[in-house]
Amino acid sequence: MKSVALRIRPLSDAEQEEAATIVAHRVDEQMVVLMDPMEDPDDILRANRSREKTYMFDVAFDYLASQEEVYRATTKGLIEGLISGYNATVFAYGPTGCGKTYTMLGTDKEPGIYVRTLNDLFRAIEETSDDMLYSVSMSYLEIYNEMIRDLLNPSSGFLDLREDAKGVIQVAGITEVSTINAQEIMELLMKGNKQRTQEPTAANQTSSRSHAVLQVAVKQQSRCRDVLQEVRFARLFMIDLAGSERAAQTQNRGQRLKEGAHINRSLLALGNCINALSDKNGTKYVNYRDSKLTRLLKDSLGGNSRTVMIAHISPASVAFEESRNTLTYADRAKSIRTRVKKNLINVSYHIAQYTNIISDLRSEIQRLKKKIADQASRQLNSDRADIRHVQGKVLSTLKHMNHICQQKLFPNFCIFTLILLTSGGPGPLQPPESGGDGPVEGAAPGCLSPTDGDQEKPDGAGKQQHGDPDRHLQTPANHCRVSVEDLYVCLIQL
């Protein structure tokens, strides 16, 4: 088998009331130790005999493990192979009341392997649906008292098993419902569970009286049809087995006792198949016909399937015998080797179908063109939105900068304008004579006293300088003379 896992549930209320001790311990991620509660540690005659029996599995869980942890370690890895065309099987095995249905079905708050597997399967299909065309169908049945009943169509009566020319076991007349999403298949699953046979016993208040088998078929082919096309198909079985029972423990009578006998008989046939398949010499005959359960699981046990077995036990001392038997079968199942192969068929279309193929190809081309156009349109709209966003940021920044410039430069601009209006004189700026009157009070910085304007100038100097307005400015108010360079210095100082 691909892997064998073990899950140990916590002590039940009934076991705690009986003051049962814990005899099954998870040592690490793979090792489990089972202690015999009947062995006396002080028995001298058995001093050399160990009270402990150690078992190794691919993975082991105790009562602290979550549903998500169990799913990821056992089943999640099968989905990729299923998409690629490999059959897969997951089944829960163990005594009654050990948590098999909880692991497979779970609750609304803690969904089990059924729900998690189907969600991930449809998620994987959606990720590759652009290139591949998928067809998914499901069926749901139970084996009750060695009779097969359709849980999706209970009125159909009991069904028979048939074996096709390739040796594949089929259920004749089973209802197969095509689905397109996980939600629809969940609704069908809930519908089927309501039809499943469950009755209370002394060992389990919600005891499953039948084996429930959920089958999901996945068919895959390229969207681009061709004259010769490869088609992949695979089947996923998820099985919640009924638990083995002891009449003394369950206190069954009448119909419940008959149900328990059929359950034990089918589980015994399963155990015999496991024993034969795990034979190291490979010489034992595997009798799948002892039970409808083993016939249905023929491929899952020793054929074309990746199979995961999740064994369940109670840690209580009162369930020691059942736990030991379960651990023994689970340990033997590790030796089973299946012959896994990819399920492929090459479909060669007749020339009469070429017109349909061409039509499909044209439709596919149109679909791809529309997809490309939609993507280009979305990208263009996105680019336009980005451009508008950047433009808005630029305009906002410019407005902010303009506002700052107006606040900081406007006073300087006013002073500079005032200087232009109040300064003047035909000559360059001259420092005042020592002992002179100095600058006129209230004059602009750098302006000299009006008396400086009365100094003698060479002939024609006034005209020459007066003819250069960019060099000197003059105002008749106070006859101050200011050069452009001096005004620039004044502006910088401000």
The pLDDT tens digits of the residues spanning 220-276 come to 887 766 656 788 899 999 999 988 766 555 555 667 677 778 888 999 999 899 888
Q: What is the mean pLDDT of residues 59-72?
A: 95
Same domain, 81 and 175: yes
- 66 has pLDDT over 90: yes
Output the CA–CA distances (angstroms, integers) from residue 75 to 82, 117, 220, 312, 485, in the order listed: 11, 7, 21, 16, 87
Last residue of a domain, one of 348, 370, 398: 348
Residue 436, φ and ψ in degrees, nearest 5: -75, -175
Same domain, 451 and 377: no
* Closest to 215 measured CA to CA, from 248, 238, 246, 184: 238
* Closest to 140 measured CA to CA, from 79, 216, 88, 71: 216
464 occurs within a structural domain = yes
* Number of compact structural domains in the chain: 3
Whether the Cβ atoms of residue 4 and residue 58 lie closer than 8 Å to each other: yes
Same domain, 59 and 143: yes
Whether the Cβ atoms of residue 346 and residue 115 lie closer than 8 Å to each other: no
Q: Which residues contact 429 (CB under 8 A, 6 or more apart)?
A: 446, 448, 481, 482, 483, 486
**What CATH number corresponds to the domain at position 224?**
3.40.850.10
So what's the pLDDT on residue 249? 57
Token pair recorded at residue 159: 């069904």
Output the CA–CA distances (angstroms, integers) from residue 424 to 244, 421, 490, in the order listed: 118, 8, 15
* Closest to 446 measured CA to CA, from 433, 471, 434, 429: 429
Last residue of a domain, one of 306, 332, 348: 348
Same domain, 329 and 399: no
So what's the pLDDT on residue 42? 57
Same domain, 427 and 282: no
So what's the pLDDT on residue 168? 82
Instruction: Report residue 20's pLDDT band, with 50, 70 and 90 as the boundaries.
Output: confident
So what's the pLDDT on residue 449? 41
Helix residue ranges, H only, 297-439: 298-302, 320-333, 354-422
So what's the pLDDT on residue 259? 78
Which residue segment(s) compose the domain that 369 sits in? 353-412
Q: What is the mean pLDDT of residues 373-381?
A: 83
Answer with the residue of higher pLDDT: 211 or 201: 211
13 occurs within a structural domain = yes
Same domain, 170 and 241: yes
Whether the Cβ atoms of residue 315 and residue 11 lie closer than 8 Å to each other: yes
Neighbours of 20 (CB within 10 A): 19
What percent of the chain lies above the pLDDT cut of 90?
32
So what's the pLDDT on residue 352? 58
- 348 has pLDDT over 70: no
So what's the pLDDT on residue 434? 43
Q: Which residues contact 18 (CB under 8 A, 6 or more apart)?
A: 316, 318
Q: What is the mean pLDDT of residues 294-304?
A: 87
Q: Would you tell me the crossing angle of helices 182-195 and 113-127 to the nearest 10 degrees?
A: 160
Encode 346-385 in three state secondary structure.
EEECCHHHHHHHHHHHHHHHHHHHHHHHHHHHHHHHHHHH
Q: Which amino acid is at 9?
A: R
Same domain, 162 and 303: yes
Task: Summarize the annotated binding site for ATP as residue ranges.
Answer: 94-101
Point out which residues pair with 234 in neighbouring strands: 218
So what's the pLDDT on residue 229? 74
So what's the pLDDT on residue 470? 45
Same domain, 30 and 55: yes
417 occurs within a structural domain = no
So what's the pLDDT on residue 73? 95
Same domain, 361 and 248: no
Residue with tokens 């304007």: 453
Residue with tokens 């049962």: 20
CA-CA distance, 449 to 453, in Å (whole number)? 8
- 78 has pLDDT over 90: yes
The SS3 assignment for 483 reads strand
Q: What is the mean pLDDT of residues 125-154?
A: 89
397 occurs within a structural domain = yes
- 64 has pLDDT over 70: yes
393 occurs within a structural domain = yes
So what's the pLDDT on residue 257? 75
Encode 188-223 in three state secondary structure.
HHHHHHHHCCEECCCCCCCEECCEEEEEEEEEEEEC
- 369 has pLDDT over 60: yes
Paired sense of beta strands 198-199 and 482-483, if any: unpaired
Last residue of a domain, one of 348, 378, 398: 348
> What sign does the dihedral 282-288-290-294 (CA atoms) show?
positive
Q: What is the mean pLDDT of the chain?
A: 78
Point out which residues pair with 140 in neighbouring strands: 214
Same domain, 174 and 70: yes
So what's the pLDDT on residue 54? 93
- 29 has pLDDT over 60: yes
> What sign does the dihedral 377-379-380-382 (CA atoms) show?
positive
Same domain, 130 and 63: yes
Instruction: Report residue 448's pLDDT band, with 50, 70 and 90 as the boundaries.
Output: very low
183 occurs within a structural domain = yes
Q: Which amino acid is at 124?
A: A
So what's the pLDDT on residue 337? 83
Neighbours of 59 (CB within 10 A): 18
pLDDT tens track for 170-193: 899 999 999 878 888 888 988 888
Same domain, 491 and 385: no
- 123 has pLDDT over 60: yes
Burial (0-12, 13-18, 19+ Cβ within 10 Å), 492: exposed
Q: What is the mean pLDDT of residues 101-108?
A: 91
314 occurs within a structural domain = yes
Instruction: Report residue 433's pLDDT band, with 50, 70 and 90 as the boundaries.
Output: very low
Alpha carbons within 13 A on the beta-carbon side of 204: 23
Instruction: Report residue 427's pLDDT band, with 50, 70 and 90 as the boundaries.
Output: very low
Answer with the residue of higher pLDDT: 360 or 30: 30
Least confident of 118-132, 197-211, 267-281, 358-372: 197-211
* Closest to 27 measured CA to CA, from 58, 54, 64: 54
Task: Summarize the annotated binding site as residue ranges.
Answer: 94-101
The SS3 assignment for 51 reads coil
418 occurs within a structural domain = no
So what's the pLDDT on residue 76? 94
